[in-house]
Amino acid sequence: MDLDPALAALRPLGGFFVLRTHRDPAGSAGAPDPGRLPTLAQTYEPTAPDASNDPLTARVTTVADRLRTPEPRVAASLAQQGLAARLWSTALGCAALHGALPDLDPRLLRWDVRAAAPDDLYLTELRPLPGDAATLAAAVLHGHLRPLAEAASARFGCAPGLLWGNAGSALAGAAGQLRRWARAHGRTDVAARTRALTDELFAHPLLRTTGTRTGTAFRRRSCCLYYRVPGGGVCGDCCFTRPPRSSPGAASG
């Protein structure tokens, strides 16, 4: 299967579903050469002696600057959730629409840590994989989100429960966007595949306890800490109904 048209078909769903490939033209004006960007495999490695060469630290710094937050832990949580949303959107979107997904091996994905979606991720090779839930879990949960959570926890003190809550929230968000698109375009088949795949993924031990699902609604059991960003608040699926007044470490688990 030629996945390049399949990936292109995801573009109307929004920026989080866009994944540039080696066949795409260059991104936005002034974007760096993708071949010089770090891979996600490098991002998940132990911190380099020279922190200026650490892609994850650079991403967290970028997010902190954009959101004007002085708390690295908060910026790390939101950076991790953003990357989780990008990975889930691309993988689940391809699987639901086309029954296949691209190989998202961290060594094949390059990351522009200074850019926002859709110009942040670049896939250097297209290798089709089956679009079943087991392959999705292997590609996203084990290939990316587990090592990403370990890195964010070790480097920035993010609680594992918070990070897995982010992963569950990102999956629920991607599934919701796919269902809305499917309803708008009369694609009941896509809606059904999205629901079936999401149900299987939320049964995985790493996601099973991240939140409560009622129908297609998701309520997480943790908080991403967005309320600690200047001008921020609680998200629609947050465990809180209003920003808490608590110590800096609250809601991190």
- Tell me how far apart the 2 most distant CA atoms of the chain are, in Å: 53
Single-letter amino acid code for the residue at 81: Q
Over residues 120-152, the pLDDT tens digits come to: 999 999 899 999 999 999 999 999 999 999 999
Determine the pLDDT at residue 2.
Answer: 60
pLDDT for position 248: 47
Token pair listed for 36: 């010089």
Q: What confidence category does residue 250 fall into, taking pLDDT thresholds of 50, 70 and 90?
A: very low
DSSP secondary structure string, 161-224? HHHHHHHHHHHHHHHHHHHHHHHHTT-HHHHHHHHHHHHHHHTSTTTTTSEEEETTEEEESS--
Q: How confident is the model at residue 178 (pLDDT cuts 50, 70, 90)?
A: very high
Nearest to 130 by CA among 90, 178, 89, 95: 95
The model's pLDDT over 3-44, given as tens digits with 9 standing for 90+, comes to 667 677 788 888 888 888 865 655 555 556 777 899 999 999
Q: Look up the pTM and report it.
A: 0.91
Contact 195, 216 (CB under 8 A): yes
Dig out the tokens for 43 from the structure: 């991002």
- 83 close to 148: Cβ distance less than 8 angstroms: yes
| Residue-wise pLDDT tens digits, 76-107 | 999 999 999 999 999 999 999 999 999 999 99
